[in-house]
Copies of this chain bind each other. A is one copy, B any other.
Amino acid sequence: MAESWSFLDTVEPNFRPLVVIELAKGTKEETIEWFTKRIVDKKANGGAQLLVKPLGTENGEENIYLVGASHLRLLLGAETVGLVKECSDNSMRTFTYSSRKTFKDFADDNHNFLTIAECQYIIKHELENLRAKDEKMIPGYPQAKLYPGKSIVRRLLTNGILVQIFPLHDREELKKLRHSWYGRVKVGYQPLDEIRCYFGETIALYFGFLEYFTFALIPMAVIGIPYYVFAWEDYDKYVMFATFNLLWSTVILEVWKRICAIMTYRWGTLLMKRQFEEPRPGFHGVLGINPITGKEEPVYSSIKRQIRIYLVSLPFVCLCLYFSLYVMMIYFDLEQWALDYHEANESTFSSLMLFVPSIIYAVVIEIMNRIYRYAAEFLTSWENHRLESSYQNHLILKVLVFNFLNCFASLFYIAFVLFDMKLLRQSLATLLITSQVINQFAESVFPYWLQKRHTKRMKKRMCSMKRDTDLSLVEQVNLEKEMGTYLGTFDDYLELFLQFGYVSLFSCVYPLAAVFAVLNNITEIYSDALKMCRVYKRPFAEPTANIGVWQLAFETMSVISVVTNCILIGMSPQVNALFPDSKMDLMLTVALVEHLLLAIKFIMAFVIPDKPRDIQIKLAKLEFESLEALKQQVRAPDMHNSQK
């Protein structure tokens, strides 16, 4: 085995480790040899043509390998994954090796042309596309079946031979990023471009959205404060506030699309063509022919999946929703009991007791959400979706519906069944603040504390053999491999989504919600940044052009909030006083206003273009150029034929 390493070492003396592969302890020698050979093998032989190096044999850890690649290999890989980079003439174009000279900042010795995140993404892509040739199984593991074209890494992962693959932190870069991100107390924007270079587009886009959303809430918060300070109770003011909120939320969601387009155009992902989607790792089925690619791969009947979705998942979700409503009713009983208690023996203790049911309920909701989340993941995985995107959509849908009901059902009940605006305001405040505190704690503070403790212990264990810089790499890898895995932006978006619900659904009752949301989001930016940089393993970059299904979720929420706010305003005594003789007229007016607002929302969403004009022109220009190129290709034989 040593020969292959020595050969590579002579070719590339300054091997730069980018990605870590951790195999299960006690993996058979022949498997390791075969796998590493496939990784370093030439493209022509079906290899990935990457560089690989064991981490260090001193303390006998033979199960961790570092993967890198030569500069040339990375550039060719950038072409394969279809990266889009800026040209010297400021236009964005798909990178190809042959046209490399036309790109901005390109030089043969400039190793910073590709960001580290891009390099790691390329290596991940190449590793995942390492496919079986004529092997029938993983050598040494007859139960791990292979067939031509099956991704080797995915098979190794599903069989537990491969524990994990993760990209290595770059300590220098991370330090710089930390400093400019949250290292100093400052007022200003996040360094989104640097975040994108280090963590990739998906995460940068989340932070971009978080920041944008926080700024967008500020007008609501500013308008909301005087309502609290002066205890304004005139509903004409509330109506103004609610109307502003509703139109504002439409505007901010539409404007976000434009800002998102500007960012992702600059990052190149707006133009990036998606590769053909492979089955997700967990997908299983009998071997058959894929009707699209014509290749052999597991197939699973779509009807079976539909049956599982509609006959098992759907009833289960409904049951959970029912259970959640049941818990809610218990909460109201508790609430009533606390109120009775307070009335019977009035004291500071009893008035504090008034808040207890809400706090308990908020905690229970959080727990239920988390349990349901596991069930939803299990069910969605059992539904056996072929594509990761379809899996994600079904999971997000399940989780969203449940979380929505859990968080808002009690508020709807209070508002539209009990008609108790005072209780609504109080519950809203308790729910909002409790959930924010719990989230901040559960997401960052607690894991950070765990991580700190763990690091200390690790350092203590290792300091005995601490010698030189090379060992520091071993130490780093060992530290990072034990860190938690960041599971994607789902939870972070979900939190924002629910917060948006608290702010917008009942905005005319509790204008202060926006203030809390803004305060929470400012700390959220810092705690999420801390989480990304210090608590979790570095995640692989994932190119993306927008926030996907979340845009739809936020838009749906803003439609629902039009309905709730109109009803709330219609129910207010002040508005009722305007229609003293006819409740009918009041209801008709409310319904009319609601439909009008909805119509305005839809028209606004339709009229405001999703992309700014200059981005539209740039995109049109690119499309025009590719059509022209196609025409030239077509015209060539045309000319030829017409000569004869």
Contacts and interface: CB of A to CB of B under 8 A. Distances in A.
A637 B98 contact: yes
A587 B293 CA distance: 56
A42 B642 contact: yes
A597 to B, nearest CB: 14
Interface of A: 42-44, 49, 72-73, 76, 79-80, 96-98, 273, 275-276, 291-294, 302, 563, 583-584, 587-588, 591, 595, 613, 617, 620-621, 623-624, 627, 631, 634-635, 637-639, 641-643
A272 to B, nearest CB: 13
A291 B617 contact: yes
Given A44-B639, A639-B44, A563 B595 contact: yes
A331 to B, nearest CB: 24
Contacts of A583: 583-584
B634 A80 contact: yes
Contacts of A96: 634, 637
B621 A292 contact: yes
Contacts of A291: 617, 621
Nearest to A566: B591
A642 to B, nearest CB: 5
Q: Secondary structure of the A side of the interface? A: helix
A289 to B, nearest CB: 12
A204 to B, nearest CB: 26
18 contacts: A42-B642, A43-B635, A43-B638, A43-B639, A72-B641, A73-B642, A76-B638, A76-B641, A76-B642, A80-B635, A80-B638, A96-B637, A276-B623, A292-B620, A563-B595, A583-B583, A583-B584, A591-B591
A623 B617 CA distance: 25
Contacts of A584: 583, 587
A638 B95 CA distance: 13
Nearest to A636: B98
A66 to B, nearest CB: 22
B587 A97 contact: no
How many protomers of this protein does the assembly include? 2
A108 to B, nearest CB: 13
Given A44-B642, A583-B584, A97 B627 contact: no
Contacts of A595: 563
A617 B292 CA distance: 6
Given A97-B637, A97-B641, A587-B587, A276 B44 contact: no
Closest 5 A/B residue pairs (Cβ): A587-B587, A292-B620, A292-B621, A76-B638, A291-B617
Nearest to A590: B591
Contacts of A276: 623-624, 627
A369 to B, nearest CB: 23
B292 A624 contact: yes
A76 B620 CA distance: 26
A595 B624 CA distance: 44
A24 to B, nearest CB: 32
A497 B73 CA distance: 59
Contacts of A613: 302
- Could you say which of A80, A595, A638 has the most chain B C-beta atoms within 10 Å of its C-beta? A638
A639 B73 CA distance: 11
Contacts of A639: 43-44
Nearest to A623: B276
B624 A293 contact: yes
A642 B292 contact: no
A72 B275 CA distance: 37
A635 B42 CA distance: 13
B97 A638 contact: yes
A583 B588 CA distance: 11
Contacts of A275: 627
Contacts of A76: 638, 641-642
A595 B563 CA distance: 9
Given A291-B621, A302-B613, A563-B595, 16 more contacts: A42-B642, A43-B635, A43-B638, A43-B642, A44-B643, A49-B642, A76-B638, A80-B635, A97-B638, A275-B627, A276-B623, A276-B627, A293-B621, A583-B583, A583-B584, A587-B587
